[in-house]
Amino acid sequence: MQLITNWFSPFARKVGLALDYKGIAYEAIDGLENANHALLWRLNSRGEVPALIDGKVVVSNSSHILAYLEDAYPERSILPRDAATRAQARALERLFDTRVDPILVNCSLWKWSKRDDNVPEGLREAGQRDLDSALAETETLLASKGAFSFGDTPGLADFALWPHLAAIKPLGFRLDASRFERTAALLACMKATTLFSDDAQRTRSFLKTMTTDTHEMTKIAWRGDRIEWLLARGYHDWLLHEIRSDRVIWPMS
């Protein structure tokens, strides 16, 4: 099995966590490394990580990969047993994939990419407001019992939440434990668990090796949810300037 990944991508990390939890051996290939672009585009016409190769089976999109893994390798299930709780777990996954990810990525470009401009006025403040709104929704979806999202063992929701929750403070945002008590407790539990701490170390190690020689760090890959959040918050002119400055990579290129 091969995972076409990038250990800075929360979506690829989500899949890596599921594979590690299930005890499935795999070879990790950095699909965003310049030398591997051709392979990635052959496997995924959008040029996005992750992609999974399992023999003759190729699966793209992190949610689809996790569904495939649960069907093909049901041992150590990553989904709750009952249908209603499974729906909650998938709702949390979607919440972080589509609402939290755009906030954290859009507002952090100046921390990890090569930029010669300043953060647009009000961007981070808008991000914190919307992040708080998403965290309030998270509190209502999380189970009231158990160390993890839906019990005493980690699963799909935890794998989706972890990369984002772990990035909140390093990226300059706040997770108010007095307002979001259950979410803060979940994050603390994850940090104390080897599965998640190993993932964090893997990402830290990767970031130390990422350079302009190995990866594109000037042009930003944009997709629907991230664009939608910018436009909804009124940053049309900024995005248009990015396009005109040739700092944009489109998934449909």
Instruction: Give the mean pLDDT of 49-63.
Output: 98
Q: Which residues pair with 62 in a beta bridge?
A: none
pLDDT at 253: 62
Q: Are 226 and 48 in contact (CB under 8 A)?
A: no
Residue 10: which residues within 8 A CB-CB, separation 6 or more? Answer: 96, 101, 163, 164, 167
Q: Are 7 and 15 in contact (CB under 8 A)?
A: no
Using one digit for the tens of pLDDT, what is the confidence trace for 5-54? 999 999 999 999 999 999 999 999 999 999 999 999 999 999 999 999 99
Using one digit for the tens of pLDDT, what is the confidence trace for 202-240? 999 999 999 999 999 999 999 999 999 999 999 999 999
For the CA atoms of the chain, what is the radius of gyration?
A: 18
Using one digit for the tens of pLDDT, what is the confidence trace for 133-191? 999 999 999 988 899 999 999 999 999 999 999 999 999 999 999 999 999 999 999 99
CB environment 151-181: b (16+ within 10 A), e (fewer): eeebbbbbbbbbbbbbbbeebbbeeeeeebe
Predicted structure pTM score: 0.97
**How far, in Å, are 23, 101, 249 from residue 108 at the CA level?**
33, 11, 17
**How far, in Å, are 16, 146, 238 from residue 159 at the CA level?**
9, 16, 33
Q: Where are the alpha helices (DSSP H) in 23-155?
A: 37-43, 62-72, 83-95, 101-112, 123-141
Cis peptide before 80 (omega within 30 of 0): no
**Burial (Cβ within 10 Å: 0-12, 13-18, ≥19) of residue 19:** buried
